[in-house]
Amino acid sequence: MKLLKQLLDFYINSSIHVALSCFALVKVTYLMLNITTDNCVAFFAFFGTIVGYNFVKFDALARANKNKMRSQLKAITAFSLASLLLVIFCFFKLQNTAKISALIFLVFTILYTLPFFPNKKNARNWAGFKIYIVTICWVGVTVILPILNSEVAIQNAYYMITLERFLLIFTLILIFEIIDLKTDDPHLKTVPQQIGVKRTKILGFVLLTAFCGLGFFNSNSNIQISGLLLNFVIATVIALFLFVANENRSKYYTSFWVESAPIFWWLLSLTLK
């Protein structure tokens, strides 16, 4: 049992699970838009998420109980370096427009982690900005990057999917902010800190309703038939996670269960496809 817990902790702490969620969202984009799948984009998102997330949280992991984390940190570092090599390999397989887009989101990640100006905080600590930066990066990698790499003509449906994904990711992050309410620095001014947990949940429900409603405005009939059902199911799952979220939930609630929602969405999309 102890070994299983150690494996689960490594799986989560090394960002494999969140990377799999990002991978799944890329796959969902390809399925929903019915464009040619390029596994290089999906694996770029997967390994890039591992590198990006481990880069962001490495310092926090290193300072949290160093004796306990020492061996795990070494393994995570080695795993992250291997992932970095793989993400570089995948990067050079992308189309030029997709490469430019990927570099832009890399800048966002660096901005999120490191201060651009001396004696200034990084973007992660800018009051009220964290949720928007993270959402933009996820939407960019899981929607915009696959579309640009496919080099297809931009359609109205693509804009709609981008907006839908923004609403979905934003709502997922609201759940994380509710769970982290006790530990987040008050100066971060997260949504729950500013409007309270109850109003944050109401906001999330409104966004999920809008997410479902946008499907009716999609002019692509193939997306409308299957997409409406898929959107409703995933919105319901996330709404349930949001409804029972509170600051007393364990770390596994968000880092495993909530982050499993995109994976479930992908598997369900494959089934309906």
What are the tens digits of pLDDT across the range 200-232? Answer: 999 999 999 999 998 777 655 545 667 788 899
Burial of 120 (0-12, 13-18, 19+ CB in 10 A): exposed
pLDDT higher than 70, residue 249: yes
DSSP 26: H
pLDDT higher than 70, residue 117: no
pLDDT band for position 44 (cuts 50, 70, 90):
very high
Give the range among 10-14, 122-126, 171-175, 269-273 with minimum mean pLDDT.
Answer: 122-126
The rounded distance, in Å, linking the Cα atoms of 146 and 97 is: 11
pLDDT higher than 50, residue 118: no
Write out the two tokens for 231. Answer: 């959107």
What backbone phi and psi angles, to 5 degrees, belong to 70?
-55, -55
The helix (H) or strand (E) run that includes residue 60 is: helix 39-63
The rounded distance, in Å, linking the Cα atoms of 266 and 229 is: 13
Contact criterion met (CB below 8 Å) for 259 and 180: no
Give the range among 142-156, 235-249, 253-267 with minimum mean pLDDT.
Answer: 142-156
One-letter amino acid identity for 80?
Answer: S
Between 186 and 117, name the one with better pLDDT: 186
Q: pLDDT for 120-170, tens place per residue? A: 554 555 555 778 888 999 999 999 999 999 887 777 778 889 999 999 999
Provide the mean pLDDT of the chain. 84
Question: What's the pTM value of the predicted model, to 2 decimals?
Answer: 0.89
pLDDT higher than 90, residue 183: no
113 contact partners, CB below 8 Å, separation of at least 6: 55, 56, 122, 123, 124
Between 69 and 260, name the one with better pLDDT: 260
The pLDDT of residue 220 is 53
Query: From residue 91, how far is each of 24, 36, 84, 96, 243 by CA, in Å?
Result: 18, 18, 10, 10, 39
Contact criterion met (CB below 8 Å) for 180 and 246: no
Write out the two tokens for 200. Answer: 């944050």
Between 178 and 222, name the one with better pLDDT: 178
Residue with tokens 């940190």: 73
Residue (of 133, 205, 145, 154) closest to 25 by Cα position: 145
The rounded distance, in Å, linking the Cα atoms of 243 and 246 is: 9
Q: pLDDT for 92-114, tens place per residue? A: 999 999 999 888 887 777 666 55
The rounded distance, in Å, linking the Cα atoms of 249 and 255 is: 11
